[in-house]
């Protein structure tokens, strides 16, 4: 039986002191859809990232961030997290609804995490792995990035899956306010690329199977999408990249913002290449 070596979140560097993440060091980024803690899907994405010779990876949530702060942290989770930790390319994860919030909440209370929140930059989780918490902002090349993760699990009231659902999963007004404040401070109120987990409400091309969900769940799902719509209206990014819906979708909203939805778990169009030219460009990539 394989030896179980648990994974522990560890911060031993800050974003601004990480040379591979400096603005002038990152000119191409691979965006990766939901992987749900599956090492096979992450490994395929890492292989494609190396083939494309990108400088960084952005994963759009439902990564399944977990460490020993989760009572059920097991061999499978530890192997998955160590794969990300040992990646040859930096991985920046936006949180989704499928993250282990007991572990993230515990780590967010540490002094290292608090320092990252004050700096407005993503938080180091060890090795090559970073958490772009809600409201974090940064710059790569000439592109200004921001993160606004979170979503509501449509099946959150299912008795079989309730134990993996936490109140922290949903994006809140406080998260949006934090993002807006940090964008004003660092980016003069504008972003070039906004990375989210759910999709802004202005997007019309996505279809949902929410009809089976209770009204209160559908209401909460819609509330998150309206918050993201508010973020887009106020920040007006050139590109929004998101996951959560488990299908690809690409459209323009308000004649200014291009929204690119990524599929999940290694399916077609679960990867997109961001070229950080002026303006930035985004294109789906084959598996």
DSSP letter at 253? E
- For residue 211, pLDDT over 80 is answered with no
Domain range summary for the chain, segments of one domain joined by + = 17-284
Question: What does the chain come to in residues?
Answer: 287
**With 70 as the cut, is the pLDDT of residue 259 above it?**
yes
Q: Are 206 and 242 in contact (CB under 8 A)?
A: no
Helix (H) or strand (E) holding 131: strand 129-132
CA–CA separation, 235 and 122 (whole Å): 19
Could you report the per-residue pLDDT of 128-155, keeping only the tens digit for each? 999 999 999 999 999 999 999 999 998 8
Of 53-67, 92-106, 107-121, 212-226, the poorest mean pLDDT is in 212-226
List CB contacts of 163: < 8 A, sequence separation 6 or more. Answer: none
Question: Directed axis angle between helix 173-187 and helix 215-235, to 10°?
Answer: 10
Looking at the predicted structure, is the pLDDT value of residue 184 above 80?
A: yes
Phi-psi region of 106 (alpha: psi -120 to 50; beta: other; left: phi over 0): alpha
Work out the pLDDT band at 80, boundaries 50, 70, 90: very high
The H or E element that residue 105 is part of is: helix 101-108
Query: Cis peptide before 279, with omega less than 30 degrees from 0?
Result: yes
pLDDT score recorded for residue 207: 79
Looking at residues 85-108, what average pLDDT do you find? 97
26-35, 151-160, 227-236, 271-280: least confidently modelled range: 151-160
Q: Which of 275, 237, 244, 285 is nearest to 261 (CA)?
A: 244
Asked if residue 271 has pLDDT above 90, the reply is: yes
Averaged over 33-43, what is the pLDDT? 97
Of 260, 202, 269, 267, which Cα lies nearest the Cα of 231?
202
Average pLDDT over residues 201-210: 83
Q: What percent of the chain has pLDDT over 70?
A: 98
First to last CA, the chain: 32
Mean pLDDT of the chain: 94
As assigned by CATH, the class of the 17-284 domain is alpha beta
Q: Identify the band that residue 210 occupies on the pLDDT scale cut at 50, 70 and 90.
A: low
Q: What pLDDT is stored for residue 261 in this prediction?
A: 97
Quick one: pLDDT at residue 115? 92
Are 104 and 95 within 8 A, CB to CB? yes
């Amino acid at each position: 039986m394989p030896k179980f070596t648990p994974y522990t979140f560890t911060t031993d560097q800050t974003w601004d002191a990480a040379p591979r993440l400096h603005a002038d060091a990152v000119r191409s980024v691979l965006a990766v859809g939901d992987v749900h803690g599956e090492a096979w899907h992450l490994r395929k994405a890492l292989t494609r990232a190396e083939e494309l010779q990108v400088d960084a990876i952005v994963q759009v949530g439902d990564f399944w961030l977990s460490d020993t702060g989760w009572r059920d942290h097991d061999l499978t989770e530890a192997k998955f997290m160590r794969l990300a930790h040992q990646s040859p390319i930096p991985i920046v994860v936006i949180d989704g609804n499928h993250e282990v919030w007991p572990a993230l909440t515990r780590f967010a209370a540490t002094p290292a995490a608090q320092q990252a929140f004050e700096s407005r930059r993503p938080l180091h989780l060890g090795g090559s792995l970073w958490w772009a918490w809600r409201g974090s902002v940064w710059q790569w090349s000439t592109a200004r990035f921001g993160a606004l993760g979170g979503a509501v699990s449509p099946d959150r009231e299912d008795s079989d899956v309730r134990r993996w659902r936490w109140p922290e999963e949903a994006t809140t007004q406080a998260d949006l306010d934090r993002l807006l404040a940090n964008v004003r401070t660092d980016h003069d109120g504008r972003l070039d690329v906004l990375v989210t987990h759910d999709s802004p409400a202005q997007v019309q091309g996505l279809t949902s199977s929410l009809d089976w969900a209770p009204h209160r769940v559908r209401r909460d799902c819609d509330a998150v999408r309206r918050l993201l719509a508010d973020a887009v209206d106020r920040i007006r990014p050139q590109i929004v990249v998101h996951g959560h819906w488990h299908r690809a979708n690409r459209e323009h909203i308000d004649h200014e913002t291009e929204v690119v939805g990524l599929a999940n778990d290694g399916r077609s169009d679960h990867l997109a290449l961001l070229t950080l030219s002026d303006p930035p460009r985004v294109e789906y990539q084959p598996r």
